[in-house]
Amino acid sequence: MQSNSKLILYVVCLSTFFASLMQNIYSPIIPLLRDSFHVSLSMVNASVSIFIFIVAIMQIGCGALIDVKGARYILMPSIAISIAASIGCAVTKDFTWFLVFRALQAVGTAPIPLIAATTIGKLYQGVERGSAMGTYQMLMSIAPAVAPVLGGWIGGKYNYPGIFWFLTGVSLLLLLGNGLYFPKDQRNRSASINIRRMIVQYGIVLRSQVGRGILMISFLYFFLYFALIVYLPALLTDQYHMSLTIVGLLYLPMAVSMILGTVVYKSIQAKIDQRRILVYSNLMAASSILIFALTESYSLVGLSIGLFLYGTAGGLIAPLYSTMISSEFEEQRASALGLYNLIRYVGMSAGPLICGLIIVNFGSSMTFAAFGVLFVVLSIWMVKRVSTQHVTQPVAKEI
């Protein structure tokens, strides 16, 4: 049973890795798509926005559907849709059809990370669940770093169709692997899903103090994460007069440290109860924002330290919150994780816009300092309301 659970873990984690790859792999060839289809850059960027929007919106419906119908019932058709959509993107010569197929690819991709997290929550208990969530989150963190490199290499060698033929081949392998090893559903397939039932499912999550706390902190973390990503190039070019090549390198502290944070979580979650990890990770995130706010205009070293600590905190927070949600909402696990994913996407979208407007009026240092203080306040509020019984788990061997 243990070896079978590990095999399923590797299958769903690899599925999640390649699902994330599909979202990020063609970023380096956006100019190539513009020239190949003879459209404006804004039109190509629209294909990126459409993908993210569809993935975000589908988290709500998919979560409730998985809870009622079962994960395999959703997973297999989703991968089949991804295969058809990838073929469509590879062969079409019309940009309108390309947008349609890219949207379908988002539809097929959207449920996969949610299904993976839900399945891990079902297969594992205690710190074994935390370790498995750490593996899942680590691959989720690696994919955005690997995808642009892989996409640039394939696109440069085989043009944009090569990327989508590659994704077609990967999707076929995922269909085969999940078809052979993904567990069959125990749900009643004749059960129906309706708006009333969805509202009840999500209402249970929102009425929980643990649920509300996780959603608020997650929103704020990813709100600030993407606000920093968008703000950083302007800061480094205007304030420090750096070239775009060097600017790109200074994104590494946050990307690498997020992976490091996930590795640290996997190693400590069997030794330290989750309440303490919750306190340390939230306070690290809040402190790092304050460090960034105090140093960003004066010290390159200081702002790099702030970014590194913020990424490390994110690497701890993401698997921790996924584990907490899986433990807290056994019957509404997929719905709760879907809502969690939606809130993260909303934070990603809102951060650059809202934070940018505030910076224009109040300045960057004051803006990030205020959000750092808000992070501290929300973290203290959350920790006080999360009882030890929800987050303290017995020690078990690591996955």
Say whether both 178 and 216 belong to one domain: no
Q: What is the four-CA torsion angle of 110, 112, 118, 121, rounded to 10 degrees?
A: -140
**Minimal CA–CA distance to 343: which of 155, 214, 161, 173?**
214
CB under 8 Å to 103, separation ≥6 — which residues? 50, 51, 54
Residue 197 lies in a domain: no
Say whether both 216 and 356 belong to one domain: yes
For residue 388, what pLDDT is reported?
A: 46
Residue 91 lies in a domain: yes
Residue 75: domain span: 2-182
For residue 397, what pLDDT is reported?
A: 42
Say whether both 122 and 177 belong to one domain: yes
Say whether both 225 and 177 belong to one domain: no
| Angle made by CA atoms 103, 73, 331, in degrees to the nearest 5 | 105
Q: Please say which residue of 162, 182, 202 terminates a domain.
A: 182
R_g of the chain, CA atoms, integer Å? 21
How distant is the alpha carbon of residue 385 from its chain centre?
A: 25
DSSP notation for 106-138: HHHHTHHHHHHHHHHHHH--HHHHHHHHHHHHH
Say whether both 23 and 99 belong to one domain: yes
Q: pLDDT, tens digit, for every residue of 337-381?
A: 888 988 988 888 788 888 888 998 999 999 999 999 999 999 988
Is 321 within 8 Å of 31 (Cβ atoms)?
no
Residue 191 lies in a domain: no
For residue 203, what pLDDT is reported?
A: 85
- Give the C-alpha separation, 133 to 230, whole Å: 28
Residue 192 lies in a domain: no
| Residue 94 burial (CB count, 10 A) | 9
Say whether both 246 and 292 belong to one domain: yes
SS3 at position 298: coil
- Give the C-alpha separation, 154 to 21, whole Å: 13
Q: Please say which residue of 182, 202, 224 terminates a domain.
A: 182
For residue 244, what pLDDT is reported?
A: 60
Say whether both 155 and 256 belong to one domain: no
Look up residue 270 and give its DSSP letter: T
Residue 398 lies in a domain: no
Mark the ranges of the chain whose per-residue pLDDT is less than 70: 1-3, 27, 186-194, 244-245, 248-249, 251, 387-399
CB under 8 Å to 42, separation ≥6 — which residues? none
For residue 209, what pLDDT is reported?
A: 85
- Give the C-alpha separation, 79 to 74, whole Å: 9
- Give the C-alpha separation, 73 to 336, whole Å: 19
The domain total for the chain is 2
Q: Is the dihedral of CA 217, 219, 222, 226 positive or negative?
A: negative
Say whether both 235 and 138 belong to one domain: no
Angstrom CA distances, 362 to 236, 294, 367, 371, stand at 19, 15, 6, 12
Residue 204 lies in a domain: no
- Give the C-alpha separation, 345 to 52, whole Å: 8
Report the CATH number that the domain containing residue 27 is assigned in CATH. 1.20.1250.20
Length of the chain: 399
Residue 203 lies in a domain: no
- Give the C-alpha separation, 380 to 374, whole Å: 10
Say whether both 214 and 176 belong to one domain: no
Residue 11 lies in a domain: yes
| Angle made by CA atoms 28, 348, 283, in degrees to the nearest 5 | 120
For residue 399, what pLDDT is reported?
A: 46
Say whether both 40 and 168 belong to one domain: yes
Say whether both 148 and 239 belong to one domain: no
Say whether both 125 and 219 belong to one domain: no
